């Protein structure tokens, strides 16, 4: 295989139906030379065998015999990356065909971290486009919440990630936020945003932030203590609202109420006090105060509908 411009790292465990869609979106990338490293984190559903049946020379498969966690899986992929750039893709997300090409073009200005907009596919709100913050706003707000969004939006210099020490393997759902903080504030990453929505972020019952909603607050407390040593105060009401929303969607209304109430007390947010009470009263009460930050898309992009329809 000719030299690659980008190494794509996909961690996965027991989610072949989702992974097959993500892989299709990567292997369909246009006008770019790339390699794909899938890190199988101890799957027992036949993922490894199915990957072995794919003849594409751009694909390499690495494996943990037992589950080591998503941060460790990403680090293994980064350690074996051959390209100047590394792009991360979660196995339940997928990309527009020119995602990598757009990011490589954006990097021509001298950037070493390039991120894109997303289309959030939500079973409640349909498809909603999110625009990325510009770099100055991102630097100003990133300590409050992971406004970079999903790892699937980011392409970054491989050397920069290695210099920063990769992902903290004590973290899972918040491992990417921790890395972005270190890359931007400690390593001085030069940022460029691609405003187009080039990533589909799919909300579903098995999302990591839903399945691990209870452990996220424990991760946050570790993260906050870690970055306090660097003189950074991390966290804010947006994080608590995000976690509480995940808990509520997973049917853990008691946990969601406690998270909202902790946010109200910690940050003096009366709105979160109302949400904490409302979540205990049920979805109808929550719906009364619900608002969307963006309207649903009126027209579904072709690349989204094609991959969603299989």
User: What are the tens digits of pLDDT across the range 117-129?
Assistant: 999 887 665 788 8
Residue 196 sits at φ, ψ, to 5 deg, of -65, 145
Q: Which of 200-214, 228-242, 272-286, 293-307 has the highest mean pLDDT?
A: 228-242
Confidence of residue 238 (pLDDT cuts 50, 70, 90): confident
Domain ranges across the chain: 6-207+302-308, 209-288
Residue 255 sits at φ, ψ, to 5 deg, of -65, -40
Among 74-83, 200-209, 213-222, 279-288, the range scoring the smallest mean pLDDT is 279-288
Q: What is the pLDDT of residues 1-48, one digit of tens each?
A: 568 999 999 999 999 999 999 999 999 999 999 999 999 999 999 999
Write the CB contacts of 69 (distance below 8 Å, at least 6 apart in sequence).
Answer: 41, 169, 172
270-281 helix and 253-267 helix, angle to the nearest 10 degrees: 170
pLDDT of residue 213: 59
Q: Which of 1-5, 62-66, 127-131, 269-273 has the highest mean pLDDT?
A: 62-66
Q: Please state, in angstroms and rounded to a whole number, the distance separating the CA atoms of residues 218 and 216.
A: 5
**Burial zone of 113 (CB within 10 Å; 0-12 exposed, 13-18 middle, 19+ buried):** buried
Alpha helix ranges (H) inside 33-90 = 47-52, 70-79
Q: Please state, in angstroms and rounded to a whole number, the distance separating the CA atoms of residues 120 and 64.
A: 30
Per-residue pLDDT averaged across 193-216, rounded? 75
pLDDT of residue 249: 73
pLDDT of residue 205: 59
pLDDT of residue 14: 96
CATH of 6-207+302-308, one of 3.40.630.180, 3.90.550.10, 3.40.640.10, 3.30.9.10: 3.90.550.10
**What is this structure's pTM?**
0.88
Per-residue pLDDT averaged across 196-203, rounded? 91
pLDDT of residue 290: 41
pLDDT of residue 291: 38
Q: What is the pLDDT of residues 37-47, one digit of tens each?
A: 999 999 999 99
Between residues 30 and 202, the one the model is more confident about: 30
What are residue 63's DSSP bridge partners? 40
Closest residue by Cα to residue 182 from 202, 201, 167, 197: 167
pLDDT of residue 300: 83
Residue 287 has, within 13 A of its CA and on its CB side, a CA count of: 5
Confidence of residue 189 (pLDDT cuts 50, 70, 90): very high
Per-residue pLDDT averaged across 206-212, rounded? 53
Confidence of residue 204 (pLDDT cuts 50, 70, 90): low
């Amino acid at each position: 295989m000719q030299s690659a411009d980008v190494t794509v790292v996909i961690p996965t465990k027991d989610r072949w139906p989702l992974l097959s869609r993500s892989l299709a979106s990567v292997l369909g990338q246009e006008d770019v030379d790339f390699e794909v490293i899938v890190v199988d984190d101890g799957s027992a559903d036949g993922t490894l065998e199915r990957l072995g049946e794919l003849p594409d020379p751009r694909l390499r498969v690495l494996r943990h015999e037992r589950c080591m966690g998503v941060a460790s899986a990403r680090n293994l992929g980064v350690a074996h990356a051959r390209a100047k750039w590394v792009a991360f893709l979660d196995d339940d997300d997928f990309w527009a065909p020119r995602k990598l090409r757009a990011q490589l073009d954006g990097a021509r200005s001298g950037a070493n971290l390039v991120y894109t907009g997303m289309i959030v596919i939500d079973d409640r709100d349909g498809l909603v486009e999110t625009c990325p913050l510009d770099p100055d706003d991102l630097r100003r707000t990133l300590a409050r919440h992971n406004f970079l969004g999903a790892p699937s939006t980011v392409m970054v210099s491989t050397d920069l990630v290695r210099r920063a020490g990769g992902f903290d393997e004590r973290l899972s759902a918040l491992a990417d936020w921790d890395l972005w903080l270190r890359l931007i504030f400690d390593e001085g990453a030069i940022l460029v945003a691609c405003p187009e929505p080039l990533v589909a972020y799919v909300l579903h019952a098995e999302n990591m932030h839903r399945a691990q909603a209870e452990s996220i607050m424990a991760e946050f407390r570790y993260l906050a203590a870690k970055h306090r040593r660097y003189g950074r105060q991390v966290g804010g009401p947006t994080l608590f609202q995000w976690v509480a929303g995940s808990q509520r969607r997973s049917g853990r209304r008691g946990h969601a109420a406690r998270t909202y109430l902790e946010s109200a007390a910690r940050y003096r947010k009366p709105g979160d006090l109302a949400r904490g009470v409302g979540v205990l009263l049920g979805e109808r009460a929550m719906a009364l105060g619900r608002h969307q930050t963006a309207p649903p898309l009126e027209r579904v992009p072709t690349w989204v509908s094609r991959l969603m329809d299989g």
